[in-house]
Amino acid sequence: MNAAVLPEHSGLPAQVWLASRSPRRRELLQTLGLQVQVFLAQNTPEAEALEAPFENEDPLLYVQRVTQLKLNAALKAMREQEISGLVLAADTTVALNGNILGKPQNAAEGLQMLQSLSNNTHEVHTAVAGAWLNKNGAVDAEKNTVQTSHVEFALLPETFIHAYIASGEPFDKAGAYGIQGIAGQYVRHISGSHSGIMGLPLFETSELMRHIQTVAQATKRID
């Protein structure tokens, strides 16, 4: 029987708390062999309020700001519940010509987004922030990163756009599409990170976790 590759073999922690509702982020972390515990600091309305952009906010600054807010909220709730360990927060936004394309609120908005992305190239920014919270409620290490990919769509047929919207898939996804779903058949080219476009860039996230664990270990207070 072949031996398993464990997280410790690549310098990763065995377990991580994930402050995200995204099943895609959880699944991506699990591909690294990690035990992933989902920790939600806010209910849905509160979480959505954190993601509200400022007027004319730069997409790159927006995704970093929101991710830090999510991490701060998770740390506060973990202290209240006396939970310790490594926690990750993340946010993904789609940007076209400097404009943020969030999750469509209705079919008309989804239609407009998909039509604007059709036969065009857009950016996908995914920010990740992590921290190691010790048993005394102090942060031993903290780090954040952001990854940007460029995605080029071929021409999206109108029949596909309408059927895709009717399927309901676009409504919980930034930019009204998921590259891992059926819309992926129209992605002509990507430059960047496929996992980042899905919601969590594995290379950058792994580097972040290794850094946080190393710094936390250096404090000799790691839990």
Q: What's the confidence (pLDDT) of residue 221?
A: 55
Task: Count CB-CB contacts under 10 A for residue 28.
Answer: 23
Q: Where are the domains of the chain?
A: 13-218
Q: Give the N- to C-terminal CA distance of the chain in Å, as an integer.
A: 33
State pLDDT tens for residues 86-136: 999 999 999 999 999 999 999 999 999 999 999 999 999 999 999 999 999
Residue 91 known to be catalytic: yes
- Alpha carbon distance 20, 47 (integer Å): 9
Contact 209, 201 (CB under 8 A): no
pLDDT higher for 222 or 209? 209
Classify strands 85-96 and 121-133 as parallel, antiparallel or unpaired. antiparallel
| 223 has a pLDDT exceeding 70 | no
When pLDDT is cut at 50, 70 and 90, the band that residue 220 belongs to is low
Q: Bridge partners of 131?
A: 87, 142
- Alpha carbon distance 142, 201 (integer Å): 18
The one catalytic residue among 58, 91, 140, 223? 91
Look up residue 40 and give its amino acid.
L
Prediction pTM value: 0.92
Burial label for 175, CB within 10 Å (0-12, 13-18, 19+), is buried
Where do we find the tokens 């998909």?
A: 114
Candidates 1.20.1110.10, 3.90.950.10, 1.10.1580.10, 3.30.70.920; CATH matching 13-218 = 3.90.950.10
State pLDDT tens for residues 153-197: 999 999 999 999 999 999 989 999 999 999 999 999 999 999 999
Q: What's the confidence (pLDDT) of residue 51?
A: 82
